[in-house]
Amino acid sequence: MINTPQQTKKLQSKLGRVRGLGSTREGVHHWWAQRMSAVALLPLSLWFVYSLISLTGTDYDTFIAWASEFGNSVFLVLLVVTMFHHAQLGLQVVIEDYVHSEMWKMGMVLFVKYGAVVFAASAIFAVLKISIAG
Amino acid sequence: MPNDTRPLSPHLQVYRPQITSMLSILHRITGVVLAFVALLLAYWLSAAAYGPEAFGRAQALLESGFGRFVLFGFTFSLFFHLCNGIRHLGWDMLWGFELSQVRFSGILVLIVSSALTVLSWLMAYGHVGKL
C-alpha cells in the first residue's frame, strides 16, 4: 500500500501540485503541445494531400501560381510551422526513450530542435519568396 | 549503481506480437518517417523558391520509380499516423478503452489508412490521366 495515488500525492508540495509540476518540472506542457499541434495538423495535412493530388504533373509556373495565391501561402506556412513543431516534440520523446547516455540524449535533442528551426525557417522563407517575388 | 546488463522493460524478446503493440510501434516508426517528410517538404519548397532548374531536379527525383515508391510509403505513413492519432486523441478523452474496442479501432485504422493511401494515388493518377 506504499505506492497508492493518495500516498504519492502527499509527497508533493502544495505549490508543486498547484503549478501542476511533475518529476520533469514542466507539468503537462509537452504533452498538451503535442495534442494541440496534432489537432491542427488534421485539417492542414488533409488540405496538403488534396492540394498535392490536384498539383500532380503540373509544371513550375503552375506550381508557383498556386503557391503564391494568398490562402495557399498562409496554409503552407501554417503547415510548415505546425509540422516541424509536432515533429520535434515527437522526436524528442523517441530520443529520450531510447538514448540512455545523458550527453548523447541532450546532444541529439538539441540537434533535432535546432534542425527543426533551421529547416522550418528556410521553408517559410521559400514560401514568402514565392508569394512576394512570384 | 545501475546495472547496464539488466533487461529493459517491456522485454520485447519474450512478447508475442499483438495488434495493440504492433500499431503502437508503427505509430512511432511512421512518426519518425514523417519527420523526413517535413524535411522533404522544406527541400521541395526551397527548390521552388530557388528557381525552375532546382524545382525541375526535385520533381524529376520525386517522379522517378524510386521516388514514387518512397512517396507511396510516405503517403501511407501520413494516413496511418493521422488515423491512429485520432485513435490516440480518443483514448485521451477516455473513449474506446475496452480491449475489444482497442482491437477493433486498431483494425479499422489499418483498413481506413490503407484505403485512403490507395484512393489518393488513384485520384492523383486520374488527375494526370496517365501512369
Please report, for the domain that includes residue A121, its CATH number: 1.20.1300.10
Give the three-state DSSP class for A28.
coil
Query: From CA A70, how far away is CA A132, in angstroms rounded?
Result: 10
Q: Is the pLDDT of residue A118 over 50?
A: yes
Give the three-state DSSP class for B96.
coil
Q: How many residues does chain A have?
A: 134
Which domain does A128 fall in, by range?
29-133
Q: Is residue B65 part of a domain?
A: yes
Q: Is the pLDDT of residue A16 over 70?
A: no
Q: Is residue B1 part of a domain?
A: no
Q: Is residue B10 part of a domain?
A: no
Check CB contact of B28 with chain A, cutoff 8 Å.
yes
Q: Is residue B61 part of a domain?
A: yes
Q: Is the pLDDT of residue B12 over 60?
A: yes
Q: Which residues contact B61 (CB under 8 A, 6 or more apart)?
A: B67
Check CB contact of B1 with chain A, cutoff 8 Å.
no
Where helices occur in chain A by DSSP H, the ranges are 5-11, 14-19, 29-55, 60-67, 70-98, 102-133
Closest CA to A132 of B23, B16, B49: B49
Q: What is the CATH number of the domain that holds B121?
A: 1.20.1300.10
Q: Is the pLDDT of residue B17 over 90?
A: no
> Looking at the 3D structure of chain B, how many domains does it have?
1
Q: Is residue B31 part of a domain?
A: yes
CB atoms within 10 A of CB B95: 11
pLDDT for res A79: 98
The fraction of chain B above a pLDDT of 90, given in percent, is: 83
pLDDT for res B15: 77
**Mutate which: A28, A51, A52, vs B, most B CBs within 10 A:** A52
Q: Is residue B11 part of a domain?
A: no
> Looking at the 3D structure of chain A, how many domains does it have?
1
CB atoms within 10 A of CB A77: 18
Chain B residues whose CB is inside 8 A of the A87 CB are 31, 34-35, 38
Nearest CA in chain B to A133: B49
CA B108 to each of CA B79, B86, B97: distance values in angstroms, whole numbers, following the listed order:
12, 12, 15
pLDDT for res A28: 80
pLDDT for res A1: 43
Query: From CA A10, how far away is CA A5, in angstroms rounded?
Result: 9
pLDDT for res A13: 72
Q: Is residue A5 part of a domain?
A: no
Contact B35, A90 (CB under 8 A): yes
Closest CA–CA distance from residue B124 to any residue of chain A (Å): 5
Q: Is residue A6 part of a domain?
A: no
Q: Is residue A59 part of a domain?
A: yes
What is the mean pLDDT of the segment spanning B22-38? 97
Q: For the segment B56-106, what is each residue's pLDDT rounded down to a tens digit? A: 999 999 999 999 999 999 999 999 999 999 999 999 999 999 999 999 999
Contact A54, B127 (CB under 8 A): yes
Which domain does B60 fall in, by range?
18-126
A90·B35 Cβ contact <8 A: yes
Q: Is residue A14 part of a domain?
A: no
Contact A91, B35 (CB under 8 A): yes
